[in-house]
Amino acid sequence: MPVFEIHARSSETKARAGVLATAHGPVKTPVFMPVGTLGTVKAVSPEELLACGAQMILGNTYHLYLRPGCEIIEAFGGLHGFMNWHRPILTDSGGFQIYSLAKMAKITENGYAFQSHIDGSSHLITPEDAVDIQLRLNSDILMCLDQCISHPATEKQAEAAHHLTVSWAQRCREKWDRADTAGNLLFGIVQGGMYPHLRRLSAEALAEIDFPGYAVGGLSVGEPREMMHETAQYTLPLLPDEKPRYVMGVGRPGDLVEMVGFGADMFDCVMPTRNARNGQLFTAEGTVNINNARFRADTESIEPECTCYTCCSYSRAYLHHLYRNRELLAYRLNTIHNLHYYTRLMAQMREAIQENRFSAFRREFYRRRGVDTP
């Protein structure tokens, strides 16, 4: 069975629907992966993730490497056993978090030298280490160590980061080839900032190395939203068509709709979970803040059409009450609704692609929000 099979394509857009085979089972695409930074998707249990329709989750290598540490997770045969989630897991390489969280991070040809943001301890992570750590976590999909740059970046900075990322991708691939893997897949990450010719060079160089899948990195790093869409729209078709394409760290519901139309298959973002903890709930008509006083006596559910546990069991008034009083159940119920919203959106897109009505779906998506465009 091939790693990725495309079962349907939209004739008016580049959207496609497929199935990605992993060591922990198949994943229907397009797919959204909830973020489980520290071996838990914040506020929800594995059973609730499944009930929300989650197929695959993301773990953060940098965080897990520091806490609890690979040797602990290895004692459980990997992250699945440690956290009691027995479906597919993708881990990032840690590069982005070292860059954004660690202290005194220093990047050299050899890798990242940094100090833990928790206890200040010194660490060095090479591309080979990044693969090794992710194999110890037994991730279904490993990501190559890359150099992510913020926006704006000069062309020279972007070019240097692209070169380093490609050279590290080669080293990751070699490490992965030598390793005794159990079906763990390694994805390459395209960098190149907002420079189209660098994105092209990066995509071509990675395709040359040959990976089971590819990601577009370096988005959502401070650039305007339109530029993010343009860069993704330009970059995605440069990636091998028959391979899964993952847009990292994106995004808002409208971003997902646009990117699927550009040919993206996989996404991750903290937005549904983080916003839930801030009282922001997603609905087909847009977002609402459950803290708003207008929900105080509202006996309706958040979204009457929604079939999530929260909407089937609780009113806006109750969620408002829980949130106002910072009750722990508030974070859970909000998170369940938002994750369900995201996975349902992906399932609706998949269905629309299979029935070749993705453009109509997109128009209706914006119509219900009362806007014309992303």
The least distance separating a copy of itself from the CB of residue 329, rounded to whole angstroms, comes to 5
Rounded least distance, CB 306 to a copy of itself, Å: 16
Stretch 274-313: interaction string toward a copy of itself, x if CB under 8 A: ----------------------xx-x-------------x
Q: Which is nearer to a copy of itself, 89 or 322 (CB)?
A: 322
Q: 74 or 174: whose CB is closer to a copy of itself?
A: 74
Catalytic residue among 129, 268, 298, 372: 268
Nearest distance from residue 142's CB to a copy of itself, in Å?
22
Smallest distance from the beta carbon of 118 to a copy of itself, in angstroms?
10
d(CA 35, CA 33): 6
Nearest to 206 by CA among 230, 240, 255: 240
What sign does the dihedral 320-324-327-332 (CA atoms) show?
positive
6 binds a copy of itself (CB under 8 A): no
| Annotated catalytic residue, options 92, 129, 146, 255 | 92
Question: Which of 23, 76, 174, 291 touches a copy of itself (CB under 8 A)?
Answer: 76
CA distances (Å), origin 94, targets 91, 139, 283: 8, 13, 32
**Under the criterion CB under 8 A, does residue 67 sit at the interface with a copy of itself?**
yes
180 is catalytic: no
Cα dihedral across residues 240, 245, 250, 256: positive or negative: positive
Task: Write down the least CB distance from residue 57 to a copy of itself, Å.
Answer: 13
Nearest to 288 by CA among 264, 306, 309: 306
Of residues 82-111, which lie at the interface with a copy of itself (CB under 8 A)?
A: 82-84
- Residue 177: active-site member: no
Query: Nearer Cβ to a copy of itself, position 110 or 292?
Result: 292
Structure-block tokens of residue 47: 């059973």
Exposure on the CB side of residue 253, measured as CA atoms within 13 A: 27
Q: Taking CB under 8 A as the criterion, which residues in 27-66 touch a copy of itself?
A: 38-40, 42-45
State the minimum distance, in angstroms, from the CB of residue 325 to a copy of itself: 5
Strand 122-125, strand 111-115: pairing: antiparallel
| The two structure tokens encoding residue 69 | 């540490």
Among 1, 71, 305, 370, which residue interacts with a copy of itself (rule: CB under 8 A)?
71
Tell me whether residue 71 or residue 180 sits nearer to a copy of itself (CB atom): 71
Ramachandran quadrant class, 119 (left: phi over 0; alpha: psi -120 to 50; beta: rest): alpha
Active site residues: 92, 268
Binding site for a copy of itself (CB under 8 A): 38-40, 42-45, 67-68, 71-72, 75-76, 82-84, 296-297, 299, 313-315, 317-318, 320-322, 324-325, 327-329, 331-332
